[in-house]
């Protein structure tokens, strides 16, 4: 999901499983970069295929930044004892577009609500500590349309500003696509103001 125009932190790759044991119960923490709720649901379903004998697979995710989609699932554990502490670690690590799951194998000893909260929190934390976290800058693609007569002027502006060209079509009617940070789209549009023949369309 497009995380608005703000920079955000996320995982570059899946992390885990990282194993954690508490009073004979085994907890496996895993985390994934995701960009949609559908992808998150599919990943949880895949975990059930991989760990069909697990007692619980609890999870939380946060997708997007401006109006984030948030979900916490206790999967039959006492209310707020699993999904919420997992989500608390997503918040603690300040992550977006991420799914964190904790797989539990019951060991025969009840942990109580307080013990469950601590165990799920610790499993999520250990997993994220092993994750590769990066700060991402949301990008947009602006498509420049112009005639061949304006080509030199357009290329000069691109070179002066070091804009990133991702596609170009050169003919009587030319087109160049630029990839730029979302927060800089207005500056890019203004840069081509001196060439009135240039049209700029946002391709997302």
Tell me the per-residue pLDDT of 65-121, one tens digit each, with 9 for 90 and over. Answer: 667 899 999 988 999 999 999 999 999 999 999 999 999 999 888 888 999 999 999
Nearest to 71 by CA among 42, 100, 114: 100
- Residues 129 and 47 grouped into a single domain: yes
Question: Is 83 domain-assigned?
Answer: yes
- Residues 61 and 144 grouped into a single domain: no
Is the pTM here over 0.75, yes or no?
A: no
Long-range contacts of 14-17 (CB under 8 A, 24+ apart): 15/127, 15/128, 15/130, 15/131, 15/132, 16/127, 16/130, 16/131, 17/103, 17/127
Mark which of 93, 119, 136 sits at the end of a domain.
Answer: 136
Percent of the chain with pLDDT over 90: 55
Strand intervals (E) in 69-170: 69-73, 98-105, 133-136, 139-147, 164-169
Number of independent structural domains in the chain: 2
Instruction: Give yes or no for a contact between 27 and 20, defined as CB atoms under 8 angstroms apart.
Output: yes
Question: pLDDT tens digit string along 26-60?
Answer: 999 999 999 889 999 999 999 999 999 999 999 99
């Amino acid at each position: 999901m497009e995380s608005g125009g703000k920079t955000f932190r996320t995982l570059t790759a899946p992390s885990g499983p990282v194993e954690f044991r508490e009073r004979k119960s085994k907890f496996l923490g895993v985390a994934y970069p995701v960009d949609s709720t559908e992808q998150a649901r599919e990943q949880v379903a895949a975990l059930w295929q991989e760990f069909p004998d697990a007692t619980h697979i609890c999870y939380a995710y946060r997708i997007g930044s401006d109006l984030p989609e948030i979900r916490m699932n206790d999967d039959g554990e006492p209310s707020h004892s699993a999904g919420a502490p997992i989500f608390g670690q997503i918040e603690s690590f300040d992550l977006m577009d991420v799914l964190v799951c904790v797989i539990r194998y019951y060991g025969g000893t009840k942990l109580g609500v307080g013990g469950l909260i601590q165990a799920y929190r610790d499993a999520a934390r250990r997993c994220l500590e092993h994750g590769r976290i990066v700060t991402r800058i949301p990008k947009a693609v602006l498509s420049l349309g112009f005639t061949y007569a304006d080509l030199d002027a357009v290329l000069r502006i691109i070179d002066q500003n070091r804009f990133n060209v991702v596609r170009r079509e050169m003919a009587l009617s030319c087109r160049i696509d630029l990839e730029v940070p979302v927060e800089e789209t207005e500056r890019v549009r203004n840069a081509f103001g001196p060439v009135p023949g240039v049209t700029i369309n946002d391709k997302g």
